[in-house]
Amino acid sequence: MEAKILDQEITAEQNPANIQIANTRSNRKYDIIIIGASGYTGRHVTMEMGRISQTYNLTWAVAGRNIKKLQNILNELYKKLDGYEDKKIDIIYADLYDFETVMKMAQTTSVVINCTTPYYIFGEVVVKSCVLTSTHYVDVTGEPLFMEKMAYKYDKQAEENNSIIVNGVDMESVPADLGVEFLYQHFNGELKHVDMYKKVYLSEIIFTYSNFYIKIQFNILPGMIHHSIWTSFLLHLATKKRRLYYRNLLDELMGITRIEPTVSKLFHRQQLSMLSDDKKWCLACPEPDQAVVTRSIHHAKTKERLPYNFNARGYRVLTGLIPGILALLLFLFLSILAIIQPIRFLLVQSCLK
């Protein structure tokens, strides 16, 4: 599916005339609806929702286009968890190509969790439906272009309709965002620059921080290179100009003037460099953490009436120099190929096979 519409975006510029928009979340049937529950991410979210909904007594449902796949996911849930013998979860039909069905779905719940990836292709219909119906929205995107485009297009309307839009609640952005927020609150002085380092371990999530940088370690998840993630990555490489376009528009809308802080040469690392403290090689990888973190710090500094002289850079810690060189060359090679539409199509197809 992603390969067929790789260069399309599903948008809805007009509201269907026959839909009465509900601008209140009171008396809605569900607390939460998961749209895209039959996908890779949606399946994991559904299983976790089945567990926590029993603890917090939440009413929830799943939504999507393929009813059979959704039913299979729920059948798996019923087998794994106790307490669903006499309680069945509702399935709601919502087709991302049919704006009316998505709007009707959004009107029945207080919160929509969107698991339909790639978000750049499929996400806007869900965001707009939530904004128009005063429904809160959460996703797990790691696509900076999608996040900043949605913020630019719908921030004002979402505020007017009391709809909260939360992007990037995933393992890419949350550890970095929380880590930098913690550092901002506890840093002895004005925080102007943060380097963020991530390394994949077969261990639990660990946060350590010092005055100058944050290290984040997390589990590598099975199936991390899923075809939808691969498609999102290729789209990210192919849309650099559009990312800069919407980032500049959003900066202007929010009144952000990016000021490069004066910092020690310690922070001006090359694309591939060595950490001085533990002699490990690291590769610069700014997105999506940089986009998320810088806007969070801008919000915090705006509240405290401080100038926005802040910068953040992200890195991946590697096992050695040779893997770093290979990763850098592969990234540059894919960056060139992803710009060419026919080759990008073939790359997506290769992962789907």
- Please compute the mean of the pLDDT values over residues 37-61 and round it to a whole number: 92
Domains parsed from the chain with CATH numbers: 22-166 (3.40.50.720), 172-350 (no CATH)
- Please compute the mean of the pLDDT values over residues 257-281 and round it to a whole number: 65
Least reliable range by pLDDT among 15-24, 106-115, 236-245: 15-24
The CA-CA-CA angle for residues 102, 108, 110, to 5°, reads 105
Sheet with 90-93, side-by-side order of all strands: 90-93, 60-64, 30-35, 109-114, 136-139, 165-166
Q: According to the model, what pLDDT value does residue 199 have? A: 77
Tell me how far the alpha carbon of residue 344 is from its chain's centroid. 22
Whether pTM > 0.85 for this model: the answer is no
Q: For the range 73-78, what are the long-range contacts, defined as Cβ-Cβ under 8 Å and sequence gap of 24 or more?
A: 73/37, 73/38, 73/42, 73/43, 73/46, 74/46, 76/43, 76/47, 77/46, 77/47, 77/50
Whether residue 153 is predicted with pLDDT greater than 70 in this model: the reply is yes
Q: Specify which residues 199 forms β-bridges with.
A: 217
Question: Do you know the residue count of the chain?
Answer: 353
Contact residues for 291 (Cβ-Cβ < 8 A; gap 6+) = 144, 147, 148, 247
Whether residue 169 is predicted with pLDDT greater than 80 in this model: the reply is yes
Tell which wins on pLDDT, 232 or 161.
161
Q: According to the model, what pLDDT value does residue 350 have? A: 64
**pLDDT confidence band for 259 (50 / 70 / 90):** low
Mean of the per-residue pLDDT values of the chain: 80
Whether residue 250 is predicted with pLDDT greater than 70 in this model: the reply is yes
Strand blocks (E) in 56-168:
60-64, 90-93, 109-114, 136-139, 165-166
Whether residue 64 is predicted with pLDDT greater than 90 in this model: the reply is yes
- Please compute the mean of the pLDDT values over residues 33-44 and round it to a whole number: 92
DSSP 309: -
Sign of the dihedral through C-alpha 92, 93, 99, 100: negative
Strand blocks (E) in the chain:
30-35, 60-64, 90-93, 109-114, 136-139, 165-166, 193-201, 206-209, 213-219, 272-274, 281-284, 311-317
% of the chain beyond a pLDDT of 90: 32
pLDDT in tens, 84-136: 876 789 999 999 999 999 999 999 999 999 999 889 889 999 999 999 999 99
